[in-house]
């Protein structure tokens, strides 16, 4: 797992490099992204940010997410039946574990994926540049209910 503080410092440095205006709202949003393990939606980030900065606009959240995505620093997960979710810790393709009850999204530890990629590349002749793997299930908390 990425160290949230390191990730936060990295994201702030990258944004500064691009000479982007770093308002306190933006910095707080970057911190939420760096610290969250839950793959929040934009709406969720917005409501969290609003607690600290009541005047924050939704546009701030969407613009910052779009910029970080363009810079390859955030992974966007689109779902046909749910809001897009964001991973600010691991901005590269990796498998996700989605709870069908509470929509919690985790990063499971999967060791075989590199082998799978290599095998598919060898068999198909493709150069693999990414993947999307979602595993659906019922999380332990939801199972208890
Ligand atoms: Zn659940
Ligand atoms: Zn993830």
For residue 106, give the ligand nearest its CA: 2
- Across the range 21-36, mean pLDDT stands at 93
Print burial letters for 65-98: b (CB count within 10 Å at least 16), e (below 16): bebbeeeebbbebeeeeeeebbbbbebeebbbbb
List the one residue out of 124, 82, 128, 73 whose CA is nearest residue 103: 82
Q: Is residue 24's pLDDT more than 70?
A: yes
Query: How far, in Å, is the centroid of ligand 2 from the Cα of 109?
Result: 11
How would residue 51 be classed by pLDDT, with cut points 50, 70 and 90? very high
Query: How far, in Å, is the centroid of ligand 1 from the Cα of 44?
Result: 17
Q: Is 111 or 39 the better-scoring residue by pLDDT?
A: 39
Residues with beta carbon < 5 A to ion ligand 1?
A: 99, 101-102, 104, 139, 142
How would residue 1 be classed by pLDDT, with cut points 50, 70 and 90? low
How would residue 84 be classed by pLDDT, with cut points 50, 70 and 90? very high
Residue 17 to residue 51: CA distance in whole angstroms = 28
Instruction: Enter the pTM of the model.
Output: 0.89
Query: How far, in Å, is the centroid of ligand 2 from the Cα of 144?
Result: 24
* Cβ within 8 Å of residue 60, ≥6 positions away: 23, 25, 26, 29, 49
């Amino acid at each position: 797992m990425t160290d949230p503080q390191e990730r936060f410092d990295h994201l702030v440095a990258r944004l500064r490099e691009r000479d982007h205006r770093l308002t306190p709202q933006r910095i707080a949003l970057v911190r939420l992204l760096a610290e969250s393990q839950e793959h929040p939606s934009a709406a969720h980030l917005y409501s969290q940010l609003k607690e600290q900065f009541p005047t924050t606009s939704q546009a701030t959240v969407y613009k910052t997410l779009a910029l970080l995505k363009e810079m390859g620093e955030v992974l966007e997960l689109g779902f046909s039946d749910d809001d897009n979710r964001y991973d600010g810790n691991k901005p590269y393709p990796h498998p996700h574990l989605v709870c069908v009850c509470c929509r919690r999204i985790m990063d499971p530890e999967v060791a075989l994926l590199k082998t799978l990629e290599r095998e598919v590349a060898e068999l198909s002749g493709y150069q693999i540049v990414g993947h999307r793997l979602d595993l659906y299930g019922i999380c332990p908390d939801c199972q208890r209910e």
